Each structure stands twice: as structure tokens, then as C-alpha cells.
Amino acid sequence: MTKTRERLSAVDAAYVRMEASRTPMHTARVLIFRLPPGESELWLRALVAEMRRTRARSGLYVRRLARSGRWHRSYEWERAPEVDLEHHLRYWRVDDPGDDAALNAMLQHAFVPALDMRRPLWECHVLGNLSGNRFAILLKTHHAAQDGFGATSSLLRWLSEDSAHYGPAAPWALDEPGSDGVAVPATHQQRKWIADAAGEERHHRLRAHLPGKRLLVWLESLSVRRDARRAQRSRPGGGLYLAMDVPDSPLGARLSFERNFAHHTFALSRFRALADRSGATVNEVAMTVIGGALRNWLLADRALPADPLIASVPVGLPRTDGRTGNAGTALFCTLGTDVADPAARLAAVMRGSRYAKALLASLPTAIIEQLTASATWRLNSNQLFNLSALRRPFFNVAISNGIYSREPLYLRGAELLVSHPCSVVFDGHALNITIVGYAGRLTMAFSGCPVATPDLALLTRLTDEALDALEHSYTTAPSAAIPVPA
């Protein structure tokens, strides 16, 4: 018997409950391509026509929300009776070859409005006739239906490193990974990691559903929280959300209906050189650069808090149950905005990040899920009951990261030049930054609200300056690698 309905996880349901016209809970991938050599706008129109004829096959593209449970307070996914591609797929074209301003205008019109919660929770917008023989595709999905890691996985299955590969016109033509006998490409190490995680997950689910075990898990999580608060006194730079001392800042504002976006692309080699020189990871270097930019940005308005800003960094967990949605947790780490010296700031970020990772790795899956559920409820209640103005922020900035491919990707010969996500922001948390590594480049994408982030273009310029300053610091005064905290 085929299962027709699937209950949403607590985290996925929280994103649905947080949905509001002023704070919609969808994300998007903005993909900017160059037309294949020798092709014109007619090629793009033909592609859009084929996309419109392509039947949606599975996953988030065919499922919609349904109320369930007593008093209809729960949510489930059900298969939609039909998928109206005239609604979900839209084609935009500027009259004269458009620049990035035309792209940003499309983002305001296409990204900002909320999704129709009665339909499958996705849209695809195609913008043609951009300057430089370019076009853009915006894939917009609700956070309850797909997280950033799932979006990246779907993208890599849709596009190809082979420019001559003639794959599906649209991502909704794909089956879900592992369904209908479709194998999921993975390295040996990835297969081992997923198999180990699957075994741990099965053990956890058995343990958590035995009588009384849920209470034991909850009591154990209280002990973890107590120990985390004590440990935070000696290691203030990273750890669990409940132990972090998060300062107030202009980023904790109540949001308007508007959003603004910016992105900046660097040579990935600059970050790798700094990582090799310092013993840091590329992501730790990027977080340090962001911390330097935010420090100078807040200093300009005399709004820099004495305590460092705290970043929430999503950590993806392997999806072993065949479901979509959100599979992950988050670690919390200082951005070193209280430190003027760039090299010392990097040292602070490294210590905080590595302590948080080590702490997270030491916790059982059941405890991680309990803490994640607790954090989700706090975000949910802040939004539902408008409590963000009464509580200290949960964190200051959300910073996620992902890697697409070391090699260029293609859609039927059209090269993907750059991708910059647009992410969710909500009351008390008005800035979201996504770091994307792709084809030797690193892109930082900023999503905000003009109430709290009126000039994101300035922030992107300050990241340039912060990277220059960090490079200069290591050129003039090299630092030794910093060991992982015990």
C-alpha cells in the first residue's frame, strides 16, 4: 500500500507556522548562466517552453500542505491532484540588455511575495536578455519543504560538468534520490558515513520510542544544558545556543515587508592561502572576513556592541529516511567583532568554531534533536507572539555555507557563471549570509531587510576591505597555526 501522506517534522512544521506576509519563510537559488556559444534568446525561449511541458515527478514539486490531527493543528504533506506549471513557472524578459540592477528588480518582484500555501511550495522564474549574453533562473522553495543542503543536492543532480550533456530541462523532471531505483552517486567515504549514520539513527529511533525513553532523553538534555552553561564561562567563543551571550544590535529589528539583496564574488585561492597560512578552514577565514566587515559597518553608525556578534551556522545531517525537508542542527560561534586585529579575530573564530564542533560531535543524536527542537520552539514563539522585542536575540547573524563543484556546471551547454542564494530573515534576525564555493570562486550572498540593513552594497565593499586587512596581517606578521581546543 502506497503511503499518500507524510507528517512534517517539528522543524519543518515550525517554518510553516512562522509563515506570515511580512516574514515569508521561503528561500531561493539565483542561478546566472551564459547562453551556449552561438545561441540567442530563441534558445532560452525554447528551453522555457520545454520546461513548461515537463511533468513534475516527485518530491516538493508535487506535494502540498494538508492539515491533520485533532483540531487540525498538525501538518502533513499530501500529493497535489495537479501541478499547474502556468502558475509555478514564469518567464521574464527585459526590453534592453539588462544589468545587475534589472536582476535585482526581478528579485523584488519574484522573490519577496509569499508562496501560495495551497499549492506545492515552489516557483521557478526565468529572466532573459541580461547583458553579456546571460540569463537567470530563480528557484524559489519554502524552507519547510527543502533546506539549503537539499537544494544544493538537487542542483548538482540537475546540472552537469559536461557541457555536451543533454539532461532534463527542469529540476522537477528528476526523481527523488534513491527513489524508483535511481542510485545516489556517492564516494566510498560518503557511503560509509551515511551507513554509519543510518545505523545510529535506527538505534536512536528504537531507543527514543521505548516507553519512558523520551523522558530520559529530555532529562539528559537538561544536564547537557547545565554543563554547557558552565563550560561557556571558560570558552565564551562557541557552543550551544542556550549558553551564548548574544548582544543586542541593529540587526535585531522588527522587519518590514521589503527585502534587499547583495552578493560579492572572490577568488577562492585567496581564502585557501589564508587557511593554509593560519591553519584555519576556508569557512573560518570567511567568517572572520564577515566579522571584520560587520565590525566596520556597525562602527560607522556607532552601533557596535561591546560583546562580539554571534553567528548561527547550520550543520547538515545525512538524510537516511527518504524524506525531504530540513535535516540538520546548528552550531554557534563568535564573529570576533570585538577584536580590532584581523589575525586575533581569526584566532577567536577558530577557537569558538572548533570548540562548538567538538561539543556537537560529542552529543548523542537524541540530545541534538532535543536541543534543536527547543531552539526551534523559541524561534517559533518569538515570531508567533511577537516576542523578539522583549527577548535578547537568539543569534545575530545566520551564516551558512555550501560547495557546488570545483568544475564549471552546465545546463545543456549554458555555463553556470555564479549562484547566490536568497535566504529567510525574520524579526530579531535581519541578516542572513550564505557562502558558496564554486569553480574556483567564493561568493558571499547577503539577504536582509532595509529597516536593519539599508545598504547591503556597502557591506559587500567592506568584506573586500576586511579580506585585504586579513591578508596584510598575515603578510606582515605571520601567525602559527592554532590547535583545536581540548
User: Same domain, yes or no, for 196 and 136?
Assistant: no
Strands 89-98 and 122-130 turn out to be: parallel
pLDDT given at position 50: 97
Residue 304, class by beta-carbon neighbours within 10 Å (0-12 exposed, 13-18 middle, 19+ buried)? buried
Q: Pairing between strand 431-438 and 441-448?
A: antiparallel
In a domain, residue 482? The reply is: no
Please, what is the average pLDDT of the chain? 82
Give yes or no: residues 280 and 148 share one domain: no
In degrees and rounded to multiples of 5, residue 291 shows phi and psi of -60, -40
Encode pLDDT of 363-373 as tens digits: 777 777 767 77
Please report whether residue 18 resides in a domain.
Answer: yes
For residue 417, is pLDDT > 80? Answer: yes
How far apart CA 442 and CA 435 sit, in angstroms, is: 7
Judged against a pLDDT cut of 60, whether residue 32 lies above it is answered with yes
pLDDT of the residue at 482: 42
The answer to whether residue 34 sits within a structural domain is yes
Residue whose C-alpha cell reads 528528476 in the numeric block = 174
Do 356 and 390 have their domain in common? yes
Average pLDDT over residues 441-455: 95
318: how many CB neighbours lie within 10 A of its CB? 17
DSSP one-letter code for 146? B
Domain presence at residue 484: no
Same domain flag for 156 and 262: no
**Range from 94-98, 135-139, 183-187 carrying the lowest mean pLDDT:** 183-187
pLDDT of 408 above 70: yes
Over the stretch 291-312, which tens digit does the pLDDT of each residue have?
Answer: 999 999 999 999 999 999 999 9
In total, how many domains does the chain have?
Answer: 2
pLDDT at 197: 35
Share of the chain above pLDDT 90, in %: 55
Residue 76 is predicted with a pLDDT of 94
Q: What is the pLDDT of residue 222?
A: 56
Residue-wise pLDDT for 209-256, tens only, equals: 444 455 565 555 556 556 655 665 555 577 666 556 789 999 999 999
For 302-326, what is the mean pLDDT? 76
- Considering only residues 183 and 88, tell me which one the structure prediction assigns the higher pLDDT: 88
**pLDDT reading at 103 higher than 70:** yes
Domain of 194, CATH number, reads 3.30.559.30
Same domain, 272 and 307: yes
52 found inside a domain:
yes
- Residue 286's contacts (CB-CB under 8 Å, 6 or more residues apart) are 271, 401, 435, 442, 444
- Report the candidate in 372, 442, 446 with the shortest Cα–Cα distance to residue 402: 442
Do 173 and 242 sit in the same domain of this protein? no
**Residue 295 and residue 192 in one domain:** yes
Band of pLDDT at residue 331, cut at 50, 70 and 90: confident
- For 227, residues 6+ apart whose C-beta sits below 8 A from its C-beta are none
φ and ψ at 384, to 5 degrees? Answer: -65, -40
Same domain, 340 and 212: yes
- Measured over all CA atoms, what is the biggest interatomic distance in the chain, rounded to whole angstroms? 68
Identify whether residues 98 and 144 lie together within a single domain.
yes
| Of the residues 179, 197, 225, the one at which a domain ends | 179
Asked whether residue 337 falls in the same domain as residue 205, the answer is yes
Q: Could you tell me if residue 481 is inside a domain?
A: no
Read off the CATH number of the domain in which 52 is found.
3.30.559.10
Range of the domain at 99: 7-68+75-179
Tell me the pLDDT band of 325, cut-offs 50, 70 and 90: low
Q: What is the pTM of this model?
A: 0.84
What DSSP designation does 479 have?
Answer: -
Q: What is the pLDDT of residue 211?
A: 44
Does residue 31 have a pLDDT over 60? yes
* Distant-in-sequence contacts of 376-382, Cβ < 8 A, 24+ apart: 376/10, 376/11, 376/14, 377/14, 379/14, 379/18, 379/426, 380/14, 380/17, 380/18, 382/427, 382/428
Sign of the alpha-carbon torsion through 263, 266, 272, 277: negative
Same domain, 281 and 173: no
- Is 51 a domain residue? yes
Q: Is residue 204 part of a domain?
A: yes
What are the backbone angles phi and psi of residue 46, rounded to the nearest 5°?
-65, -40
Q: Reduced to 3 states, what is the DSSP secondary structure of residue 220?
A: helix
156, 243: one domain: no
Cα–Cα distances (Å) from 183 to 106, 274, 319, 335, 380, in that order, read 36, 38, 15, 40, 37
Q: Which of 154, 179, 204 is the last residue of a domain?
A: 179
Element (H, E) at 241: none
Q: Can you tell me the distance from the alpha carbon of 378 to that of 242, in angstroms, rounded to the nearest whole number?
A: 10
Among 152, 179, 206, give the residue marking a domain's end.
179
- What pLDDT sits at residue 68? 84
